[in-house]
Amino acid sequence: MGGLLYIDPFSGASGDMFVGALLDLGVPLAAVRRELAKVDFGGYRIGTTRVMRGSVSGTLFDVEVAGAGGRTRSGDRRQRSSGENGRGDKPGRDPGRGHKHGDEDGSEGGRERSHGHGRAHGHNQDQGHDHEHGQGHEYGHEHGHGSAYQRGNGHEDERGHGQGRDPGHEHRSWTEIERLIKRSGLSEFVRRKSLEAFERLAEVEARIHGIGRGEVRFHEVGATDSLVDIIGTFAAIEALEPDEIMCGPVTLGSGTVRCDHGELPVPAPATIGLMRGIPIRPTDREGELTTPTGALLISSLASRFGPIPAMTVEKIGYGAGHRDDPGFPNVLRMVLGRRTALGTGTADSVVEMTANVDDSTPETLGFLHERLAAAGALDVFLRPVTMKKGRLGVEITVLCPEGAAGDVAAALFAETTTFGIRFCRKERLTLSRRSARVRTRFGTVRVKIGEMGGRVISVSPEYEDCRLLATKKNVPLRRVYSVALAAAGREIPGLGEE
């Protein structure tokens, strides 16, 4: 599908909200189901329901895990209210009531139960059997708004009731999850992104608890439903195929929550640990709005952060959370579109970093260029400056994407003696870029082509290609360069046309 995917976590983010928003954008549930069927999770079913959160309608993605209580969910998978425990129950409340349809839905932290199972509402149930790869039962529940449930590839009975265990709250280690994913038949993209995400989380958890990465055991995030959310999100992203993913400031929440580690502040340690280098938005709303799973997916997917850029909106998706807070839409919004081409180019934003040094040699500054480029810098330039006490120095300016700002700053500190870096966000206009190859009497040369509104504006031969040919043919570099430009004028349609 391509284009820019903008994630807007104005009300926080969780795993189920991610999958729900992507499905709401138009990703087929069947595409997510097919990829999830390649992993041996055990017994579970997935489904979607159209719900209201405040005044906004969105898609609720639900996972039903086989267990002693029938329907189970991990506390991390959805947002918890302030003071709520890891299973989403209020202190003193009977946890078993959370699986009944008669519970009060409007309370803070309450789940949407009015469309949960179907059979408790008197709806007609159309049950079909579809055995993909010899396993997996699918069920359709008639709700008038479309809800489809699937059983996973375990061996529990059709209704998902296990034998006295609670797999929805299993604690899996990093090595167990790594083995599970590596042994699966997941696509290369989904497998790679899933492994990278859990490895990042394992490193964060290891730092928090002062243990080795191999000793980390995931609690809520290691539960089956959270695994379904994470891998399901990457499967949906693969189906959507955006060219770029950007995220706005993240609302984390406030207060405290109770989990397997006791009472913790909001944001939870794992959540804030995953937010390094990511802008956050303050809020007075109490409760856990962004869960560790939500933070993990944001940090794993977005390459840029900031306000929504100039773009042409094509689709909007809302993923509903299980909390239904009165007066505020508890949804994760995603916007799919194309960057807007203005009259003078394409709108974009970058981070500009500046630092002054007065004791660097030309050789170290040349090496700095290489390190900054490797860290993600788009451009690096130097200016001579006169510093205090008349000392001659150099002003280093770096342009980089917002997602690379942390790595670029680290390279600046490591390779220079500066004690501080100034930075700001800059808007810019760029030509659309593509590359082509042109044939010359010296050989083939790649050229960069800049376009605006479909019209070729600029062509530039690649220096490395010209340098290699000049060396090979023993001719001046400028001759190869001019011959390549002439070839581009002949071979590239539209070049030079008014």
The 10s digit of each residue's pLDDT in 304-324 is 888 888 788 999 999 999 988
* CATH 3.40.50.620 is held by the domain 346-429: no
Residue pair 288/253 in contact by the 8 Å Cβ criterion? yes
Mean pLDDT of 356-380: 93
SS3 309: coil
- The dihedral of CA 182, 187, 188, 193: what is its sign? negative
Average predicted confidence (pLDDT) for the chain: 78
Q: Which residues pair with 398 in a beta bridge?
A: 353, 380
Residue 364 has, within 13 A of its CA and on its CB side, a CA count of 14
Residue 301 has pLDDT above 80, yes or no: yes
Domain boundaries defined on the chain: 4-338, 346-429, 432-491
Residue 404 has pLDDT above 60, yes or no: yes
CA dist 399 and 450 (Å) reads 19
CA dist 225 and 232 (Å) reads 10
pLDDT in tens, 131-146: 333 333 333 333 333 3
CA dist 36 and 132 (Å) reads 11
Residue pair 77/15 in contact by the 8 Å Cβ criterion? yes
pLDDT value of residue 50:
96
Cα 68 to the center of its chain, rounded Å:
33
CA dist 30 and 355 (Å) reads 51
**Using 50, 70 and 90 to split pLDDT, how confident is the model at 158?**
very low
| pTM score | 0.59
Dihedral, CA of residue 343, residue 346, residue 347 and residue 351, to nearest 10: -140
Residue 129 has pLDDT above 70, yes or no: no
Across 344-388, where does the E strand assignment appear?
345-357, 379-386
Q: How far is CA 80 from CA 73, 286, 289, 293, 323, in A?
A: 12, 9, 7, 13, 8
Q: How far is CA 240 from CA 29, 304, 321, 338, 430, in A?
A: 12, 18, 21, 14, 26
Residue pair 246/4 in contact by the 8 Å Cβ criterion? yes
Q: Among 91-95, 171-175, 328-332, which stretch is predicted with the lowest mean pLDDT?
A: 91-95
Q: Which helix (H) or strand (E) holds 120?
A: none
Eight-state DSSP code of residue 13? B
pLDDT in tens, 444-497: 999 999 888 778 888 999 999 999 999 999 999 999 999 999 999 888 887 655
What number of other Cβ atoms are within 10 A of residue 95's Cβ? Answer: 12
pLDDT value of residue 426:
86
**Cβ contacts of 371-377, under 8 Å, gap ≥ 24:** 371/411, 371/414, 371/415, 372/398, 372/408, 372/411, 372/412, 372/415, 374/411, 375/400, 375/404, 375/407, 375/408, 375/410, 375/411, 376/400, 376/401, 376/403, 376/404, 376/407, 376/408, 377/404, 377/408
Pick the CATH number of 432-491 from 3.10.580.10, 3.10.20.300, 3.40.50.620, 3.10.20.590: 3.10.20.300
The owner of tokens 């003071």 is: 83
Q: Which residues pair with 385 in a beta bridge?
A: 393
Residue 108 has pLDDT above 50, yes or no: no
CA dist 320 and 14 (Å) reads 9
Q: What angle do CA 309, 321, 332 make, to 5 degrees?
A: 5
Write the CB contacts of 468 (distance below 8 Å, at least 6 apart in sequence): none
Closest CA to 380 of 402, 412, 349: 412
**Using 50, 70 and 90 to split pLDDT, how confident is the model at 75?**
very low
Mean pLDDT of 175-188: 92
Higher pLDDT, 125 or 391: 391
Residue 191 has pLDDT above 70, yes or no: yes
Total residues belonging to the chain: 498
